[in-house]
Structure 1
């Protein structure tokens, strides 16, 4: 048996378009990651149901379902990986800055929604740092972005992306390891 190639943004985007979901690709991935971070269980073949999403078409094609199932498995594995390999699925760096920035906002919005669906007591298990990270992700999710200096804006997006990436892993860890305080600070 050969290892599956990781699902990237474009593959997930294709599945989202086929399924005619009411959310964007990055928001879907954020929802999956938030749900997993809150210790939610996403059973195979029931990802959309668990996230309270419905495909715009009557039937979900096998290929699209396989992509969703693989993204769930891949995300859970990456969030738990001690080598910190997790990456939010976002448009490639060659896409326009506003598109990539909007995708980060969408991802954060999805993460918050998924986290809320993942477990009723997930938020209460968070440390003070974890609660602050959730507040910051909330601030990003409600942001309206303006762009003025491309180089500075690009640097700011890189910083926000890294914060979101590390924050998601920290929140996952806090909700999966009982009574485990976070180690180090996230800046």
Structure 2
């Protein structure tokens, strides 16, 4: 199962009048799923992303719900995939490097928010690798995007960071799942 395209999710967020951006919202979802992999986060994630109050199912326009459901389902499947197919939802290469870097920072902020929502309080007691990833994501969330079109070095650095967060998100998920005594999901081959 593949993530919906960033542009499709962006359109759905505009139609739903979401306060967060797609990259930030996806980071939040990934943080929730990584911090507490056993929980069903779908409606809470939608409430957080859309600033919706109440309990139960979030009310969405008919054209929006299938896109966000597909994003949730694909993300959940990718997080447990042992073949490491997880990808953060970020704008594609048609967007300038400054926009992609800005969205990467938002994704990292969202991940930290989702993680702290699912696991409030101190990070004491977390495996050292998980604490290191959270610290790294905190630093990445504060990085200033390059000005202008960026250089080849900027592009290479951005690709390296995307690869790092791709692996880091799955590492956090797997470490915490193992800590809870749950084996990795059998969907990995």
Q: TM-score range by the shorter chain?
A: 0.7 to 0.9
Task: Provide closer, same or farther for how the CA distance between residues 39 and 121 of structure 1 changes in structure 2, counting only shifts above 3 A.
Answer: farther
What is the TM-score with the length of structure 2 in the denominator? 0.81
Q: Is residue 33 of structure 1 aligned with residue 30 of structure 2?
A: yes
Q: Deviation of residue 179 (structure 1)?
A: 6.0
Q: Is residue 100 of structure 1 aligned with residue 100 of structure 2?
A: yes
Query: Could you say which residue in structure 2 is the equivalent of 1:49?
Result: 47
Query: Could you say which residue in structure 2 is the equivalent of 1:60?
Result: 60
Query: Could you say which residue in structure 2 is the equivalent of 1:183?
Result: none
Does the 8 A contact of 1:39 with 1:122 survive in 2?
no
Paired with 1:150 and 1:16, the residues of 2 have a C-alpha distance of: 31
Does the 8 A contact of 2:18 with 2:50 survive in 1?
no
SS in 2 for 1:88: coil
Task: Provide closer, same or farther for how the CA distance between residues 11 and 164 of structure 1 changes in structure 2, counting only shifts above 3 A.
Answer: same
Q: Deviation of residue 6 (structure 1)?
A: 4.0
Q: Deviation of residue 50 (structure 1)?
A: 5.5
Structure 1: 5+ residue stretches without partners: 181-187
Q: Deviation of residue 170 (structure 1)?
A: 0.4
SS in 1 for 2:63: helix
| CA deviations over 1:16-72 (Å, ceiling 9, x no partner) | 1111111111001111111111116345555322567239xx951133122222211
Does the 8 A contact of 1:147 with 1:153 survive in 2?
no
Comparing 125-134 with 158-167, which one deviates more in the overlay? Answer: 125-134
Q: Is residue 18 of structure 1 aligned with residue 19 of structure 2?
A: no
What is the TM-score with the length of structure 1 in the denominator? 0.82
RMSD over equivalenced CA pairs, Å: 2.6
Q: How many residue pairs end up in the alignment? A: 175
SS in 1 for 2:95: coil
